[in-house]
Structure 1
Amino acid sequence: MNPCVKIITNFFAWCTLIFRNGKHSFYQMAEGNNINDNDKIKTSVRLQDTDTEGRPSIYLFIFVNPLSGARKGSDLIHLPIQHFRLRRLPQIQVEIHNYLDPKDRQAGIDRVNLIQNKIKDGDLPPIRSSSDTPTTSRAAERKHTDAAETMPEATGRISEGVQTRHIHVWSGGGDGTVMSIFEMLVENHVDLDLVFLSCIPFGTGNDFSQVLGWGRTEQGGVIGDNLESLEQLISDRFEYSEPARLDIWQAEMTSYDGGQVRLASEPKTTKRTRYVAKMCNYMSIGVQGYVGSGFEKHRSKKRWLNIGVYTIESSKWAFWRKFPTLNNFIDSIRAQDGQQMLLEVPSTFVTPTRVNPGSSSNGEDHQQQNHPKLATPAIDLIIQNIPHLWGQELDIWGEAKEGLETVSNRSGPTDPDLWTPQLANDGKLEVIAMENMMSYLKKLANFRDHVARVGQFPGPFEIHFREPPETATGAQPHENTGCLHMWQRRRRNKYERKNVLGVMVDGEFYRIRHPQRVRFERIAQVVTLGRSDQQKQGRLVRDEKKRQDGQMYQTGATEATEATGAIASSSS
């Protein structure tokens, strides 16, 4: 082929990719021209272009964790072109970034900040659906309307609620990736009131995606022939979604002196007594934390294998190791100042090294107060923000008809007469206890009439834990405790004897040795995009309609504390 003809042909082919990018075309050109990762096209629009060139009005940033779940996200980050426009919705600019690549991640956040500044300066065209008639009555918007009119004709549409924000940030990964993306936005001073947050589920459980109504995982390949699958996914999200607010919580986990707070994937020699995790789904203290620690050691690259690994680890605990009783770890649940008792948790095993077994870690005498009291043993304590559990659409709080006998002397947050319907945007967390493995299995098998609902706690509040024997007030290590005590101690679970607690927060697993306190505080509220069409409406969208009752959702986006100031460092 004549060299000049080849150059001209390649030039027009690359230009076509900006609007008509196909998977096969990518790979054919990559083969013919020896294109590698360093030659990827990083942009399809320049903000310095003229007003009549037709700039996008919506920017979709997809931050992908290529290691999540079955690693489907790796297909996205290996596309030869990472920034492109949609054929159905050419007013949308799509940009893909590898979250695990520091350079690419920073490039993505720099672009988000750039678009944020353009919005504040009024330099972006107005958002309109394909069916809208361009606005010509306002002279100030005329130049942007001219730009929009020069775009190729769109065949898709954008729902009315989605047309209110220019920036969309999606996580491509599991539940843990969602919170990592949120932290990234806050740390880089992105105004959350300008952003819609959503996800493409590539993880194992994907509770966040399911509560939005987008399903547990993407079936088949996410790209498809000629990018049809990816284009269909994005187009559907913009056409069939509605905004819904979601509370973001901070769980600050601390240990006593000589203790440790670490990720399950970290070495046992890790020296840390405090860790701050972000949460939008739920926390499990007990069962899932213990099982997940073993799961992390054997996690595979295949999602179906991960499910098998989790099942095997669960069986080990259920039929061999046995879960420890949380009553011997947890002392109480208290209000934010640590003084007001909201729930007392009596131990099933009285440690004789205590001077007063009825006193708490701060010296308050439980036995002299008529506090609400956990009346049954528990192997798992679930602290819920969303009505979703275990990677399944389970509303065990709302469906429960029995189980109030779990707490005696109910008052305050434990009083069911004061409870409101469970919502993910009301500044409250629901606490549920699992008494034993049979109770756990019944919930999984859809027998949910009896649920041990402990209470509905507005933040901030704290879970306090008992002092370890070697640090307890009045401990006498050399005291002869007698044969009965020694026999009881040997019967205790080894994690109970070592005072090691398993915790799961939004798909991330932790081990705490000598736990002291877990403090919950709502730090922000984001606006997500949930599914809303004739076939299905996401739970968060339903919650939003109940909560708002006709009010505009934008007014609630800053209802929580200022996110940029409230986010603490994740560890110390």
Structure 2
Amino acid sequence: MEKGNDFEIETKIKLINRSVSDDQDFITSPQIQIYLLVNPRSGSREGRSYTILEKDCYQYELDNGDTCELNIINILLKDSMEDFKKSVLEKSRLLNFEDEPQTLKKIITVIAGGDGSFMNILKEMEDYGVILDNVIFTQFPFGTANDLARAFSWGATPSQRMKTDLRYLCNLLNSAKETGFDIWEINIHADEVNGDVESVDGNELISHQMHHFTKLMCHSFSFGLDARIGLNFERRRTRSRCCNNIRYALEGMKRVFCCCFYQRTLRIREILTKFSQNPPEDDSQEFESIQSDDLEENASDKMMTRQVKLDNKEFTIGSHRDEENTYYIRGNPVSLYCTNIAILMGGRNNIWEGGRNRSGITDKSGRPIDPRVFNNSVAYNDGKLEFTTFSSMFHLIFQKSRRVMQAGGPFVFEFEEYKKDEIEENKNDSEPQKTYINIDGEFYRISDIRKLTISRYFKEKQLRILVNENDSGSS
């Protein structure tokens, strides 16, 4: 018998032995309702340790005396997802009836898969009518990079006990700390004639034949060379975490050392014309330059004042030096990154920290803006996003970013309508310009992108999430 099958049988026995015995009374009204949504194909496919079980529902009495019901859902099975949405819809509505006696205290939804699954499931639940205010979410590290799970302190990979002891898993979730989490919405508009959105399905790049595309973002967004490398990697993904890391490295090396054999990826200033933050309508602050010589060495109060002004005013960054009251992108970077959490790329890069002493914007005369005007801290519940650029692939590898903006948005990106040497009458016959985009580790190729916006999805609230405070769930 193969080693993999031995592990599956051993795991199944351990989990079943730890479940409530079938001859015990069934808990009809559990106080804690937990839904474990598993993608058995994500990452190294460790989620199969849950989907191979003979049952998909387990009940326990937890350490604090509460009763708990754990439901395991394979998100690849349509019927299972439909049953899950019906169940969580009913439970979320139940919590709204405060005047009626009930035992249900909280609903926890756990996504055990890649980071992209988190936003997809969230959107499905909302579209179905689930009251998200009454559901608490978290992400387990069952994907490849697991950036979101790391941000929530669940670690890089799940511990063996998390995979084999379901009662322990329920206790861990019940004792985790609840906090808030910012969710962002990205809207992409492509040209009405040549525009298109493509994404990876298996090993193929498929066209969605659309000009407008909307997607939720939880931890990062980028466009440029890094997104192109990621898209090519997704088309060659394997089942092994180690092989995936090697594959990703090879894709990066191909773009650096074999660039003559591939179509060149356009740099940021070749495709982006303007990047701005739209201020509140009642904010009438005038543009004020923030040069290096405006800041004293230890003027912390002055820096705080500058940061407040950046947060609440229109902030425009152009690519071409032809406008007044505008900052400009420094150099001609290969990628532009937007982050909502501190650590990305499988725990390898703290992108904002990497640009601590480097500015990615200049004034009209070309003088870099002092990077001290930005706050060094990064938080997923502060209502802000951090934007950086990378001058080359080597800068990306070694975390040498340049800080561009740190603010609350909404943000607007405007792109070149068509290439500079192209004339109007040949526009419809020209080859569409390709822009590569990464949203939470899911990659897209956009033909003739025209505009992209980023804004808070929940305008006056945050998603409820669970954070592991004792780190006992990770390995």
TM-score interval, normalised by the smaller of the two chains: 0.7 to 0.9
Instruction: Measure the CA separation in 2 of the matches of 1:456 and 1:259.
Output: 30
In the TM superposition, what is the alpha-carbon distance from 1:380 to its structure 2 partner?
A: 0.7
User: How many residues of Structure 1 are paired with residues of Structure 2 in the alignment?
Assistant: 411
Distance 1:69 1:425 in 2: 27
Which one-letter code corresponds to 1:287 in the other structure? L
Match of 2:227 among 286, 289, 293: 289
Whether 1:256 and 2:194 are equivalent positions in the alignment is: no
Report matched runs for 1:46-61 at 5 Å. 47=28, 55-61=29-35
Structure-2 change in CA distance of 1:405 and 1:253 (3 Å): closer
- Confirm or deny: 8 A CA contact 1:212 1:531 kept in the other structure: yes
Asked if 1:426 corresponds to 2:382, the answer is: yes
How far residue 536 of structure 1 moved from its aligned partner, in angstroms, is 8.8
Provide, for residues 427-454 of structure 1, a one-character-per-residue CA deviation record: whole Å limited to 9, x for no partner.
22111000112312221xxxx5xx3100
CA distance in structure 2 between the aligned counterparts of 1:70 and 1:313, rounded to whole angstroms: 19
State the AA in 2 paired with 1:108.
F
The residue aligned with 2:434 is: 500
User: Is the 1:259–1:512 contact (alpha carbons within 8 Å) kept by the matching residues of 2?
Assistant: yes
The one-letter amino acid of 2:158's match is E
The residue type paired with residue 458 of structure 1 is G
SS of 1:299's partner is coil
Kept in 2: contact 1:262–1:275 (CA 8 A): no
CA deviation map 1:411-439 (0-9, x unaligned):
9x998536584321222211100011231
Please report how far the alpha carbon of residue 234 of structure 1 lies from its aligned counterpart in structure 2 after TM superposition: 3.2
One of 343, 357, 365 as aligned partner of 2:317 = 343
Instruction: Please list, as runs of the form range in 1=range in 2, the aligned pairs for 1:407-418 lying within 5 A after superposition.
Output: 407-408=362-363, 417=373
Say if 2:464 is the partner of 1:527: yes
Contact 1:469 1:475 in 2 (8 A): no
1:461 equivalent to 2:420? Answer no
The corresponding residue for 1:356 is none
- The match for 1:141 is none
Per-residue Cα deviation, 1:523-559 (whole angstroms, up to 9, x for no partner): 12201111213x6999xxxxxxxxxxxxxxxxxxxxx
Amino acid at match of 1:324: L
Report the residue type matching 1:254 in the other structure.
Answer: H
| Deviation of the 1:26 alpha carbon | 8.0
Contact map agreement 1:262 1:272 (CA 8 A) in 2: no
Q: In the TM superposition, what is the alpha-carbon distance from 1:25 to its structure 2 partner?
A: 7.8
Aligned pairs for 1:375-454 (under 5 A) are 375-392=330-347, 394-398=349-353, 400-404=355-359, 406-408=361-363, 417=373, 419=375, 421-443=377-399, 451-454=401-404
Provide closer, same or farther for how the CA distance between residues 268 and 103 of structure 1 changes in structure 2, counting only shifts above 3 A: closer
* Residue in structure 1 matching 2:148, options 204, 208, 214: 208
**1:428–1:459 contact (8 Å) kept in structure 2:** yes
CA contact (8 A) 2:360 2:389 kept: no
Q: TM-score, normalised by structure 2?
A: 0.77
Q: 2:43 aligns with which of 66, 69, 92?
A: 69
TM-score, structure 1 normalization:
0.65
Deviation at 1:372, TM superposition (A): 0.5
Residue 425 of structure 1 aligns with an amino acid whose one-letter code is N
Supply the AA of the counterpart residue of 1:200. Answer: F
For residues 116 and 105 of structure 1, the distance between their equivalents in structure 2, rounded to whole angstroms, comes to 16
Match of 1:475 in 2: 424
Q: Which residue identity is paired with 1:271?
A: Q
2:210 is matched with 272
Contact kept in structure 1, 2:30 and 2:103, CA below 8 Å:
no
Change beyond 3 A, Cα 1:110–1:268: closer
Determine the structure 2 residue equivalent to 1:217.
Answer: 157
Residues 331-370 of structure 1 mapped to structure 2, 5 A cutoff: 331-336=273-278, 342-346=316-320, 367-370=322-325
AA matched with 1:250: E
Query: How do residues 116-131 of structure 1 correspond to structure 2 at under 5 angstroms?
Result: 116-122=92-98
Cα distance between partner residues in 1 of 2:420 and 2:79? 47
Q: What is the CA-CA distance between 1:236 and the residue it aligns to?
A: 2.5
Q: In the alignment, which residue of structure 1 is the partner of 2:108?
A: 168
Give 1:475 deviation, angstroms. Answer: 3.2
Q: Structure 2: any 5+ residue segments left out of the alignment?
A: 1-10, 282-313
Equivalent of 1:236 in 156, 172, 183: 172
CA distance in 2, matches of 1:314, 1:166: 44
Deviations 1:138-170 (A, max 9, x none): xxxxxxxxxxxxxxxxxxxxxxxxxxx510001
- Deviation (angstroms), 1:498: 5.3
Q: Encode CA deviations 1:352-402: one digit per residue, 9 max, x unaligned.
A: xxxxxxxxxxxxxx6142410112110010011111211116433246431
267, 271, 287: which one aligns with 1:325: 267
| CA contact 1:175–1:506 (8 Å) conserved in 2 | yes
2:81 match: secondary structure: helix
Q: Distance in 2 between matches of 1:218 and 1:313?
A: 27
CA contact (8 A) 1:250 1:276 kept: yes
Give 1:107's aligned amino acid.
D
The CA distance in 2 between the partners of 1:222 and 1:320, in whole Å, is 43
Structure with higher RCO (Cα < 8 A, 6+ apart): 2
Which structure has the larger Rg over C-alpha atoms? 1
Structure with a larger share of its residues in helix: 1
Quick check: which one's strand share is greater?
2
Distance in 1, Cα, partners of 2:42 & 2:454: 27
Structure 1 runs, 4 residues or longer, greater than 4 Å off: 25-28, 44-47, 87-90, 122-127, 219-222, 266-269, 413-416, 535-538
Percent identity of the aligned residues?
22
The residue identity in structure 1 corresponding to 2:411 is F
Partners of 1:282 and 1:267 in 2: how far apart? Answer: 22
Mapped to 1, the partners of 2:455 and 2:370 lie a distance apart of 18
Given that 2:417 and 2:448 are in contact with CA atoms closer than 8 Å, whether structure 1 keeps it comes out as yes
- Where do 5+ consecutive residues of structure 1 fail to align? 1-21, 29-40, 48-54, 128-164, 347-365, 479-495, 539-572
State the SS of the aligned residue for 1:367.
coil
User: Which among 498, 509, 512 is matched to residue 443 of structure 2?
Assistant: 509
Which residue type is aligned with residue 168 of structure 2?
Q
What is the identity, as a one-letter code, of the residue corresponding to 2:436? G
Determine helix, strand or coil for the equivalent of 1:304. Answer: helix
Q: Is the 8 A contact 2:337 2:387 kept in 1?
A: yes
Give the aligned CA root-mean-square deviation in angstroms: 3.5
Matches of 1:382 and 1:238 in 2, distance apart? 35
Native 8 Å contact 1:213 1:536 kept in 2 = no
Q: Decide whether the 8 Å contact of 1:57 with 1:124 is kept in 2.
A: no
Counterpart code for 1:93: E
Q: CA deviation at 1:216?
A: 1.4
